[in-house]
Amino acid sequence: MAFDNITQLTLGNVIQIAFTNGVHNQMSLSYKDQEMVKRALVDSSGAREIRFYFQNGLLPSNVQWRNPGQSNRAFPRAFQPATAEYTAKLKEVNASVELEYNLYERAKATPEKYAQPLEMIVNSAVTSTKREIARAFWKDGTGVIGQIGAAAAALTSPVSNQLLFTLNQGDASRGHVGDFEHQEIYILRTAAGAATALDTSLATEPAYWKVMNKNRLAGTVLLQGLDSSFNPVANITSISVQPESGSVFYKYDQPTIPDLTSISNYSDATEMLVGLESLAANDGRLVHGITMSGITGATEIDCGANPIDLSYVNSGMDQVKIEVGPDQYSWKVMCCAPEVQSALIESREDDRRFTSKEDARSGSKVFGFQHRRDFIELSDSEYVHPKRLWILPEQRSGDKVLEYHGSDFKAVKAPGGDDFRLKVDGGAYVNTMVSFMQAWGVLICHRPKAIVKLRNFTA
């Protein structure tokens, strides 16, 4: 029989509705990568740029062997050490919080009833900003979230205004599935920065794309088309022209969309923070005026598209200790995608150098790799590219290898003003309150060669 709710009975609607406790969040609240930024933090909130020096060589040509039985021997020529000054400009990151004014007033009057949804909105904004910084730590500064692969887009069922995009997650790709955030809104552009059209039955193409689902295993993201007012578009019934392979997604409001085919300097290509993918590159790109190759590039190991194993980790550590010396730095953490971590843990059966270490006091167990006197803990991050494994150094004394110069998030307001103000909509004030926050910072690397970068492998 058909089930009838009690509301079908006379006065049935007056029966009280029971709610479960709390608001049950469906998103990841993790931003542990930001801890790496915090460890690198150096307070330079009053600065507009950071300048630093590199010494790019010693004086080996000043030292020569001579015949002791020869008179009037000439001393070798003297050369000055090669130094260079570089400049890193601080970038600014903004965030907004919006609250209903009525909710805010009732929260003050009866916090036991209204405070929780208010707290949910504020906490969500704070978590989102921290996750954005955690994501930016690993990226290249272009703002690319993901790159479309050869099999670009496919219609899905039963929701007809959503498309399934297959991403390129190869070694040379920018971004990956892990960079996509649920409910985040993006724009789609060609590699050169122009608009890319999806030929559909719509009068106009979707202006924006909203993340509905993502599949790390398949390398796909399910995106809903939105119009210019951020409303879902009508049905997409056919796709006769695919977006160009190599087209990329950016956050919807990124001010500068770069031409990825001709970036002259990654440090000022966009307003985005330049992360490790550029700061520890070894392909000749320019970052903060530094040409990332040779002695100023990372210690990079190309794994040749082979399955990842500890032999590559060992090769990287052997090489980095030759390049920068074994005593000035300690290497304590190697970070990779979760799938790569699982593959390495499974390799324990075949390689005894990969061991587990248990803290006797807390009982927590970590996995790691012992390379001479350095125990390197294996860590994972949802934001690390699936074709990358990073081994990060710490200087035993003195300056940090990675430094984040910047500030904490602060509300933007006039002196003595309130954090929240009424929102303007259509030229009139409405009963909604908004607060704006900003922070600024720049990430610099004093010794790219001390960072080990493994790339081009399979898990």
Return the pLDDT at 453.
97
Interacting residues of 18 by C-beta distance below 8 A, sequence separation 6+ = none
- Beta 83-89 vs 49-55: how paired, if at all? antiparallel
Residue 149 near residue 288, CB atoms below 8 Å: no
Stretches where the chain sits below pLDDT 50 are 1, 19-27, 29
Q: Which element (helix H / strand E) includes 105? A: helix 101-109
Write down the H helix ranges in 208-359: 276-279, 310-324, 338-346
pLDDT tens for 194-244 read 988 665 655 567 889 999 999 999 999 999 989 889 999 877 766 777 777
Asked if 396 contacts 324 with a C-beta cutoff of 8 angstroms, the reply is no
Strand partners, 423: 430
CA within 13 Å, CB half, 425: 9
- Rounded Cα distance, 124 and 181, in Å: 13
Taking phi over 0 as left and psi of -120 to 50 as alpha, with beta for the rest, 419 belongs to: alpha
Structural Rg of the chain based on CA atoms? 27
Helix (H) or strand (E) holding 131: helix 111-136
Question: Taking the chain, what is the end-to-end CA distance rounded to the nearest angstrom?
Answer: 52
| DSSP structure class, residue 116 | H
Strand duo 208-215 + 185-189: pairing: antiparallel
Give the pLDDT score at 19.
47
Q: How much is the pLDDT for 27?
A: 45
Structure tokens at 280: 């520890």
pTM (2 d.p.): 0.84
Closest by Cα among 289, 294, 285, 282 to 390: 282
411: Cα separation from own chain's centroid: 24
Number of Cβ atoms within 10 Å of the Cβ of 149: 18
Give 216's Cβ-side CA count (13 Å radius). 16
